[in-house]
């Protein structure tokens, strides 16, 4: 049989660890095991009925054809209004391109901006896909480490240490998957200065911006066109509105930056799904009410996890947002991959090992809080039974 020589490009990328773990869970369940599955970054809350109804209506009304490559104008207007309502940032519809999911928006931005050998600063632990999507166009991901003690965010000196003349871009996820860390407004001011000083493009992934706790709010930085430094914002409807299967996201920037992004969308996808765009308009109309729902549900779950973790002596990083918790499993094994495996096989709790998110995740696992509180409490008790009450776990769950 002839062997196919695949490109060096595709050889650089690997399948996401969270999907690999989810597949293992499926296999174990098929063998009759009962597993608490906390692997996947997908909300368990139902998609709100008004969104489903808008999608059905769009199909019945004939919205079944290609749309403008940028996305339909009413949706881009709704996104611009949301930017104004939440962030007091003024955008025009032409500053926005609607994409098939935020992931594709990030891929466009990286393909449009990076050449061979360019370096991209990525604070770690971080979402698995950034590294692979940076490798695709031949650029080099540069991990900027952080630690539990520093709130799982690097400080400015940490960032400065990794800049070279090849540094082209910084990827900032706020709040952060997998730790739930939130960048403070003050640090973001420092980052803005850093980007203008080093002429670094800022790519902000705001996919979890609505899921923040304790009354906090997070805002992206988008300098006026022609001032400051180039910045882009990516967001989407997957997480806040439980619309992962609709595949609908967007990318925004001022000053004509969308034209090169658009070229990629025109060749890769033509446009985002017409039906999903109609559904997203309905989502945007109920945004304020839905944000209140997700903030309450996921904050209650985080609080339940912290409470039980404290009881059983397991150290959990106090997430300021997202629906993830980063849990110290050093008492189960020094190797978090092994700890994750033991938790799966001996305790029936499926997680994603922290090192999948970069070396800074060593010693931790990520739990996705996509089950009801009693199930999450049970998962933490089982983690405690396997490796709780370790000396370094004293003070578990204390706010930082």
Ligand X SMILES: Cc1ncc(COP(=O)(O)O)c(C=O)c1O
Residues that bind ligand X (CB under 6 A): 41, 101-103, 127, 173, 177, 205, 207, 236, 238, 244, 249
Nearer to ligand X by C-beta: 106 or 343?
106
Nearer to ligand X by C-beta: 130 or 229?
130
Provide the β-strand partners of residue 98: 250
Cα gap 314→330, rounded to integer Å = 10
User: Cα-flanking dihedrals φ and ψ of residue 257, to 5°?
Assistant: -70, -20
Nearer to ligand X by C-beta: 236 or 363?
236
Nearest distance in Å: CB 370, ligand X: 12
Cα gap 37→343, rounded to integer Å = 11
Residues near 60 by beta carbon (within 8 Å), at least 6 away in sequence: none
Q: Which residue in the shown chain puts its C-beta closest to ligand X? A: 101
Nearest distance in Å: CB 174, ligand X: 10
Nearest distance in Å: CB 352, ligand X: 11
Nearest distance in Å: CB 173, ligand X: 5
Nearest distance in Å: CB 286, ligand X: 18
44, 370 Cβ separation under 8 angstroms? yes
Task: Tally the C-alpha atoms within 13 A of residue 363's C-alpha that lie toward its C-beta.
Answer: 14
Nearest distance in Å: CB 207, ligand X: 4
Cα gap 263→258, rounded to integer Å = 9
Nearer to ligand X by C-beta: 41 or 320?
41
- What DSSP element (H or E) covers 243? none
Nearer to ligand X by C-beta: 151 or 180?
180
91, 83 Cβ separation under 8 angstroms? yes
Terminal Cα distance for the chain, rounded: 59
Cα gap 92→84, rounded to integer Å = 11
Nearer to ligand X by C-beta: 82 or 393?
82
Other C-beta atoms within 10 Å of 141: how many?
Answer: 18
Nearest distance in Å: CB 243, ligand X: 8
């Amino acid at each position: 049989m002839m062997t196919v020589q695949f490109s060096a490009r595709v050889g650089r990328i690997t399948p996401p660890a969270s999907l690999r773990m989810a597949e293992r869970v499926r296999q174990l369940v098929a063998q009759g095991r009962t597993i608490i599955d906390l692997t996947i970054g997908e909300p368990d809350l139902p998609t709100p009925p008004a969104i489903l109804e808008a999608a059905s209506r769009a199909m019945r009304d004939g919205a079944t054809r290609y749309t403008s490559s940028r996305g339909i104008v009413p949706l881009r207007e709704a996104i611009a209004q949301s930017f104004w309502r939440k962030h007091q940032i003024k955008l025009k519809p032409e500053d926005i391109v609607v994409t098939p999911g935020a992931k594709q928006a990030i891929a466009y931005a990286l393909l449009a901006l990076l050449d061979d050998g360019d370096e991209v600063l990525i604070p770690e632990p971080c979402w698995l896909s950034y590294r692979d999507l940076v490798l695709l166009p031949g650029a080099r991901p540069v991990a900027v480490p952080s630690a539990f003690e520093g709130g799982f965010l690097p400080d400015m000196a940490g960032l400065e240490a990794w800049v070279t003349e090849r540094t082209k871009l910084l990827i900032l996820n706020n709040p952060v998957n997998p730790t739930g860390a939130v960048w403070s407004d003050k640090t973001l001011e420092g980052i803005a200065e850093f980007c203008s000083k080093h002429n670094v493009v800022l790519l902000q992934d705001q996919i979890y911006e609505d899921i923040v706790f304790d009354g906090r709010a997070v805002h992206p930085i988008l300098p006026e066109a022609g001032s400051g430094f180039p910045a882009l914002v990516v967001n989407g409807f997957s997480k806040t509105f439980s619309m992962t299967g609709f595949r609908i996201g967007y990318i925004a920037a001022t000053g004509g930056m969308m034209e090169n992004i658009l070229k990629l969308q025109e060749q890769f996808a033509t446009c985002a799904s017409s039906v999903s765009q109609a559904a997203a308009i309905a989502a945007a109309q109920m945004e304020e009410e839905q944000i209140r729902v997700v903030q309450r549900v996921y904050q209650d779950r985080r609080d339940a996890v912290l409470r039980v973790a404290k009881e059983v002596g397991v150290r959990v990083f106090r997430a300021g947002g997202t629906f993830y918790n980063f849990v110290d499993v050093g008492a189960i094994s020094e190797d978090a991959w092994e700890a994750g495996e033991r938790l799966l096989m001996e305790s029936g709790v499926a997680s994603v090992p922290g090192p999948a998110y970069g070396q800074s995740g060593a010693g931790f696992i990520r739990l996705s809080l996509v089950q009801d509180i009693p199930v999450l409490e049970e998962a933490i008790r089982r983690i405690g039974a396997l490796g709780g009450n370790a000396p370094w776990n004293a003070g578990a769950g204390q706010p930082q």
